Amino acid sequence: MKLKTIYLMLCFAGAVLPYWEFVPWVAQHGLNLPLLCRELFANRISAFFGMDVVVSAVVLVTFMRAESARLKISRRWLPLLAVLTVGVSLGLPMFLYMRELRLEEPKAIGGGATPA
């Protein structure tokens, strides 16, 4: 199986699984951001996971910005939107999928024919 296919499947999982938990919570509590933050940081272990995801998101956005500029990836705002609306679980595999597509293009960095 190609790497880009795996990334595409991970995009699906990365969108569905977090919302599988989030949608019922919103149905019960509404978009209550203070409650969301209180529950996210309710104890040290949940705060550990919350901080890990926040730091991972910052690292991912930094990487996506640099790598998409280096490879001239189009529509580079899509994974950023995915990070902001779903999270790293969707943004990372989406960006890696887009990166694989770009690397497969003949004129991608390091690709293409060599001059004769």
First to last CA, the chain: 34
Q: Is residue 112 part of a domain?
A: no
Is-contact 105 12, C-beta < 8 A?
no
Model confidence, pTM: 0.85
Q: Is residue 66 part of a domain?
A: yes
CA distance 56 to 29: 27
Q: Is residue 24 part of a domain?
A: yes
Write out pLDDT tens, residues 37-95.
999 999 999 999 999 999 999 999 999 999 999 999 999 999 999 999 999 999 999 99
Q: Is residue 111 part of a domain?
A: no
Is-contact 113 16, C-beta < 8 A?
no
Range of the domain at 27: 3-104
How many structural domains comprise the chain?
Answer: 1
Q: Is residue 116 part of a domain?
A: no
